[in-house]
Amino acid sequence: MKLKYGREKLEFDDERLPSVKILEPNERQGLVKPLDAVRERLKNPLGAKPLTELVKQKAPEQVVIVVNDVSRPTPYQHLLPPLLAELEEAGVTKEEIIFVIATGIHDPNTAEENEEIFGEWLAEGYQFVSHSPDQDLVDLGQLSSGNQLQVNRRAVEADLLITIGVIAPHYFAGFSGGRKSILPGIAGRESIQFNHSQMVELLGDLPPVVENPVNLEMIEAARKAEVDFILNVVTNSKKEIVEVVAGDLEEAWYAGVETSAQMYHVPIDKQADLALVSAGGYPKDINIYQAQKALDNANAGVKPGGTIILLAECSSGLGEDVFVEWVNTSQQPEDNIERIKEKFVLGGHKAFAISKVVMDKEFILISGLDEELSEALFAKKVDSIDEALAYVEEKHGADYQTIIMPQGGLTVPVNR
């Protein structure tokens, strides 16, 4: 069997495992004509007027399209040509369009990354601006939660605000996409921090998405930012589009959430002794900050005292700066757990999430990180799957149950 690791795959003999269940998404085939599906949704959206009618009604002089950053693969080759054609048909020129990249607190995209993600014709023909969580913001007032909402100025001042996203499971917001383009995508650092602080009480016991306070606050923020139209997709593990949703911020997104849950929430009868999990390859394992999502998903499928083997190349290292600082200054998992309770800090929340897993699970990491960094993550470094399995066999004996998660970042084990 082979599992994704960076841009490659690692092979191992799965027959050596005594009892195995492979947890994979309930995959749907990609749409045969995705461009046609996008065009149809733009003309027949959910809960909103067709895009061309909306444009003619608003007569915008400035259109902002919020798009994902490099860490979130999005099929722009199918989404942007129909969208831009509809805008052009309604009289919008390319000079009136600005793409704002929803980096949240991540680093800005480089020019080279923009060309790789969007294509040279788009990257050179349109204006792209990476969001900064620390400058050029507008205060939109207080949300019902008490969160003071600050949002990217270009988006707030736009005459027409469109967001593009991918709907997939998320370890504390429930699902990505939709409202997440605004908060955290183009929000201020303190607004993001307030929103994400709620994860401390939610991790390990997420409520249904319609009751999730993180999600509900994100929706309220996106409404306050006056998102006019969303274009979102659900994709399979091959990054093919299986469903397109467009229109109203909530109605269209929740329709996509239903499809995503059917695909990626995978039932299990009981927790296993071992999870062998791939973060899903590049860019999902570009750093441990991103690959943590797969670790968290695997955690749900493993019993206390069990073992998680994570494959994540981490070609760019640990990730975000605050996360790096927390990793390098904690001596034991309890340090991060106590620290986050004293004061929630973005970046530190990922260190907390990893620490919460390792409190009752053993974490084995196959990555490009050295032994010192692996130990700082409270992980045991090994160099191959075979080495990891030899260790597990010694630990658990001849009879143990294993789940294999080839798409760990997308697969959410759910107890029946």
CATH number at residue 325: 3.90.226.30
177 φ/ψ sector (left φ>0, alpha ψ -120 to 50, else beta): left
Would you call 271 helix, strand, or coil by DSSP?
Answer: coil
pLDDT tens string 143-171: 999 999 999 999 999 999 999 999 999 98
Q: Are residues 294 and 344 in the same domain?
A: yes
pLDDT recorded at residue 73:
85
User: Does the pLDDT of residue 348 top 90, yes or no?
Assistant: yes
Give the range of the structural domain holding residue 382, as residue numbers without chain letter.
2-24+269-415
Residue 12 gets which letter from DSSP?
Answer: -
Is 253 a domain residue?
yes
Are 259 and 358 in the same domain? no
Please identify, among 229, 263, 297, the residue that sits at the C-terminal boundary of a domain.
263
Q: Is pLDDT of 237 > 90? A: no
Residues 41-98: tens digit of each pLDDT: 999 999 999 999 999 999 999 999 999 998 788 999 999 999 999 999 999 999 999 9
Q: One of 78, 131, 170, 196 is an active-site residue; which one? A: 170
Looking at 243, 263, 283, the residue that finishes a domain is 263
Question: Does residue 107 carry a pLDDT above 90?
Answer: no
Query: Are 40 and 137 contained in the same domain?
Result: yes
396 carries an active-site annotation: no
Asked if the model's pLDDT at residue 389 lies above 80, the reply is: yes
pLDDT of residue 138: 98
- CB contact at 8 A, 88 and 80: no
- Give the strand pairing for 272-278 and 401-405: parallel
Assess whether 72 and 217 both reside in one domain: yes
Helix or strand run (H / E) with residue 77: helix 76-89
Task: Answer whether residue 212 is part of any domain.
Answer: yes
The number of CA neighbours under 13 Å toward the Cβ of 116 is 11
Q: 67: exposed, middle or buried (C-beta count within 10 Å: 0-12, 13-18, 19+)?
A: buried
Check whether residue 241 and residue 97 sit in a common domain. Answer: yes
The reply to whether 195 and 257 lie within a common domain is yes
Q: Give 223's pLDDT tier (boundaries 50, 70, 90).
A: very high
Q: What is the mean pLDDT of residues 302-312?
A: 97
Whether 215 is covered by a domain: the verdict is yes
**Averaged pLDDT for residues 248-270:** 97
Please tell me the predicted confidence (pLDDT) of residue 324.
97
Position 416 scores a pLDDT of 78
Beta bridge partners of 216: none
- Count of Cβ atoms closer than 10 Å to residue 307 Cβ: 24
Say if residue 62 is in the same domain as residue 200: yes
In the set 106, 131, 196, 349, the catalytic residue is 106
pLDDT score recorded for residue 226: 98
> Residue 204 above 80 pLDDT?
no
Q: Tell me whether residue 293 is in a domain.
A: yes
Q: Output 70 or 28, whichever has higher pLDDT.
A: 28
Q: Do 11 and 42 belong to one domain?
A: no
Can you name the residues that pair with 150 across neighbouring β-strands?
139
What integer is the mean pLDDT of 395-399?
92
Radius of gyration of the chain (CA): 21
- pLDDT, greater one: 205 or 368: 368
* Same structural domain, 216 and 156: yes
Residue 88 is assigned to a structural domain of this protein:
yes
User: Of the candidates 397, 404, 411, which has an alpha carbon nearest to the alpha carbon of residue 10?
Assistant: 404
Within a domain: residue 339?
Answer: yes
In this structure, the answer to whether residues 109 and 204 fall within a common structural domain is yes
Question: How many folded domains does the chain comprise?
Answer: 2
Q: Once rounded to an integer, what is the mean pLDDT over residues 188-192?
A: 96
Q: How far apart are CA 329 and CA 380, in angstroms?
A: 18
- Give the pLDDT of residue 192: 96
57 within a domain of the structure (yes/no): yes
Q: Are residues 99 and 60 in the same domain?
A: yes
Given a contact cutoff of 8 angstroms between Cβ atoms, the answer to whether 139 and 148 are in contact is yes
Residue 59: its pLDDT value, please?
Answer: 97
Rounded CA gap, 156 and 243, in Å? 29
CA 260 remoteness from chain centre = 13
Predicted local distance difference test score (pLDDT) of residue 165: 97
Let me know whether 222 and 306 are in one domain: no
Residue 106's pLDDT is: 86
- Residue 29 forms part of a structural domain: no
3-state secondary structure 299-341: HHCEEEEEEEEEECCCCCCCCCHHHHHHHHHCCCHHHHHHHHH
Is 131 among the catalytic positions? no
Q: What is the pLDDT of residues 110-149, one digit of tens each?
A: 999 999 999 998 999 999 999 999 999 999 999 999 999 9
Q: Which pLDDT score, from 0 to 100, does residue 203 have?
A: 82
CATH number at residue 169: 3.40.50.11440
* Domain end (from 263, 294, 326): 263
